[in-house]
Structure 1
Amino acid sequence: MTEQDVIEKLQDYKRIVGRIRVLERHHVGMGYTVKAITQDDQLQELHRQLRGLPSYMYLTAREQELETTANAYLSRYPAGIRSQYREVAGLHSEDAEDGQRLQELTGKIRKVLEARIGAIPEDAIEALLARMCELQELEAERAYIDTALDVLEEMHPGYGRLLRLRYVEDKLPDEVAEELKVVRRTFERRRPKALEEYGRLTGMS
């Protein structure tokens, strides 16, 4: 990737943060926001916490069987509604019976969510899951950029802060130089090196 690609990725940070704020505050019913739901988004955890009852008290025998199948198939994926729903909905098992169970599981996910936040229109479930997925993905992307900049700062003192001030906080070159306590010429010399190191660290170059 080019230097401009790295710059654009860093500049995208503000959009990511803004979109996260919008999604977090989106109300989904019963006083819940998307943020509140995603903080409690693991399917197994939803089962345990649902009205404080163990799953066998509110799931039928068939649903318990589905839960067992889901745990077996989804153990290799990251926890969370995003991974679980996507993998369940898109997974095609060679075992016909398991494939049927996995399809039925998409309905169970809806049931558990509705038990947490109240009745949701059928056509609203997909929108809610999409927002949850997007929020999780954006939070992961934001954390990735933050971590990369922190690690870069540890490896090359001043580089991570330079990039954060210039491209994440969108400060002018002279303002960045002043905060870093260097002259403008030093800033200009370090800037391309910082971008190059960030690109290498994140695998962009």
Structure 2
Amino acid sequence: MTKQIEQRVIEQLTGYRDIVGRLRVLETYSVGNGITVSLLNEDDHLQELHRRLRGLPSYMYLTPREQRLETTAHAYLTRYPAGTRAQLQAVQDCEPADEEDRQLLEELQRKIAKVIEARTGTPDGFEAILAQLAEYQDLKAEKQRIDAVLDAMDEELAKLLRLRYIEKKTVYEVADELNVSLRTHTRRKEEAIRQYCRFMGMS
């Protein structure tokens, strides 16, 4: 394990509290009409409903016009990313083959903006709202990744990393809390970082 990788691990873990703090701020960030970024993020659960609906013939729940939009989206999108901003970006990145497709793709973008406007009442700021939502989703995903790795690790090694880098306790405080010598602490810290790297897939 190189020093560079070790430093990346330390930076991830020491940044954990900043992630948690920023998430708390974003969870209360109002985007209008009493809607917060966290509530707006929950609306992405509608994607799950859409996935279920996709198991049915689209003519059962889409208008003919919506079916054309769906067909156009399927033709251009190779994947359907999670998150409002990522979805909007995916549509914006499409290169239409003809004028009709260009108009349909632009209509898809307008529909996204219209939904945001309806939810928040701030049509002029929907790009800013999407930026806040994307930040919230990215930070939440990063926190979940770190939590998942620490939960999967050896309990004592994970505790060492949490105490040393997330809670930012001194070497002496960590060694005392774990009831180990400083030498043992150093050895276990190196082992903990190696295990974290393996589970996180860092190389």
So what's the TM-score if we normalise by structure 1?
Answer: 0.79
| Contact 1:11 1:167 (C-alpha < 8 Å) held by counterparts | yes
Partner of 2:139: 138
Mapped partners of 2:17, 2:36: distance in 1: 22
- Cα pair distance change 1:161/1:44, threshold 3 Å: closer
Give the percent of matched residue pairs that are identical in Structure 1 and Structure 2.
Answer: 53
Deviation per residue, 1:116-149 (Å, 9 max, x gap): 23x2132x11000111111101100110111111
1:113 aligns with 2:116: yes
Indicate which of 86, 91, 96 corresponds to 1:83. 86
Aligned length, in residue pairs: 190
- Cα pair distance change 1:42/1:84, threshold 3 Å: farther
| Contact 2:26 2:132 (C-alpha < 8 Å) held by counterparts | yes
Partner of 1:15: 18
2:26 maps to a residue whose letter is L
Indicate which of 49, 52, 69 corresponds to 1:66. 69
5+ residue gaps, structure 1, are: 48-55
1:37 aligns with 2:40: yes
Mapped partners of 2:49, 2:41: distance in 1: 11
So what's the TM-score if we normalise by structure 2?
Answer: 0.80
Mapped partners of 2:158, 2:76: distance in 1: 40
Offset, 1:66: 2.5
Indicate which of 79, 90, 103 corresponds to 2:106. 103
- Cα pair distance change 1:69/1:181, threshold 3 Å: farther
Give RMSD over aligned pairs: 2.7
Which segment is superposed worse, 38-47 or 26-35? 38-47
- Cα pair distance change 1:129/1:33, threshold 3 Å: same
Mapped partners of 2:149, 2:98: distance in 1: 42
Offset, 1:86: 1.7
| Contact 2:83 2:134 (C-alpha < 8 Å) held by counterparts | no
Indicate which of 10, 26, 30 corresponds to 1:27. 30
Partner of 1:53: none
5+ residue gaps, structure 2, are: 51-58
- Cα pair distance change 1:78/1:181, threshold 3 Å: farther
Partner of 1:172: 170
